[in-house]
Structure 1
Amino acid sequence: MLKDMELMAVLPAKDIDRAKEFYRDKLGLEPAQTIENENLIYRCGKGTGFLLYRTDNAGSAKNTQMAWGVQDVEKEVEELRARGVVFEDYDMPGLKTENGIATMEGMGKGAWFVDSEGNILNISSLPA
C-alpha cells in the first residue's frame, strides 16, 4: 500500500524566515505552499518534496536527514559552493571526503552540508 504513495521528507526549522532565505538563496528553491505562516512545502523532481516546519528542536539530529540524487556530484558541489553552501569534511572509518566529496564503495559519490537550521543534507550519485 505505502510503496506506491508519494513520500515527503519533514525537516525542522527553528527560524522559518532564516530557513526560507537559505533554501532560496543557497539552494535556489521556493516554497510551493505555505501553511499557517510557519510551515513550508517545497516540491522537487518526480513528485518528491519536503515540509519545513517550525520547532525549537531543529538542529538536534546528527545524521543525514534528506538527500537529493544527482547526475554529477562534482558539478552540483561546484554550483552550490558558488552560491555560498559550505560542505562538510569527514574522516572516519568508511567515510572520508576529499574537497567535500566522498567516494563510497558500491554507492558512488556523495557530499554533505548543513542548512541554516542545523539539518544535515546530502547530494549523492543517482544509482546506475
Structure 2
Amino acid sequence: MSSSPATPTPPAITGLDFVGIPTQDAERARRFYGETLGLRPDDHAEFEFWIGGTCVGIWEPERQGRPFAPQKNAHLALHVDDVPAAKAALEARGVTFHGDVFDTGVCHMALFTDPDGNDLMLHHRHTPTRG
C-alpha cells in the first residue's frame, strides 16, 4: 500500500503589503496619485503612496521586460465619507467618471480610471457590516 505525500500547509498570509499600479509613464502617474487624488506620498520611495495602511506602488512593467496592461475590472475601492462630494471635487480637477454615483443598497460608488486606464472607484459603505 502506497501512502500519498502530505499536503503542505498553506503559508500564513497576515496582510496586504502593497498594491502595484502599472503605468507607462511613472511621472504622470505620480502626479495623478499625489496631486490629483491627494494621496500621501511615502517618505522613502518616490513612486509609492499611502491609502490608510495600504501602500500603492507605481511601476512600469515595460522597464522589466513585461507588457503593459491596465488593471481592469479589479477596481481599487478608495474610501471617502461622501462619494458625491468627492466625485465633484475630482471632476473639478479634471477626472472623468463613468456615469453617476450609484447605490448598491450597501454602498455608494463612482467609477473612474487613472491616466493609464487602471480602474478605480470612490466608495462609501453606508450599511453596517455584520460583526
Whether these two folds match at TM > 0.5 is: yes
Aligned-partner Cα distance in 2 for 1:71–1:118? 25
Aligned-partner Cα distance in 1 for 2:70–2:110? 20
In the alignment, structure 1 residue 53 sits paired with structure 2 residue 59:
yes
Give the TM-score normalised by the residue count of structure 2.
0.72
Larger Rg: 2
Aligned-partner Cα distance in 2 for 1:30–1:108? 25
Counterpart code for 1:104: T
Aligned-partner Cα distance in 1 for 2:57–2:101? 26
The secondary structure found in structure 1 opposite 2:41 is: coil
RMSD: 2.1
C-alpha contact (below 8 Å) 2:108/2:123 kept by paired residues: yes
Report Cα offsets for 1:54-97 as digits up to 9, x if no partner. 124444333133111222111111221122211112xxxxxxxx
Counterpart code for 1:121: L
Aligned-partner Cα distance in 2 for 1:24–1:43? 10
Q: 1:24: Cα distance to partner?
A: 2.6
Give the TM-score normalised by the residue count of structure 1.
0.73
Aligned to 1:22: 32
Aligned to 2:50: 43
Among 3, 13, 21, the alignment partner of 1:11 is 21
Aligned-partner Cα distance in 2 for 1:58–1:102? 30
Aligned-partner Cα distance in 1 for 2:60–2:93? 24
Report Cα offsets for 1:83-114 as digits up to 9, x if no partner. 2211112xxxxxxxxxx211113x22100111
Counterpart code for 1:116: P
Unaligned runs of 5+ in 1: 90-99
The secondary structure found in structure 2 opposite 1:117 is: coil
Greater RCO, 1 or 2 (C-alpha within 8 Å, sep 6+):
1
Aligned to 2:45: 34
Aligned to 1:92: none
The total of aligned residue pairs comes to: 111
Aligned-partner Cα distance in 2 for 1:86–1:115? 9
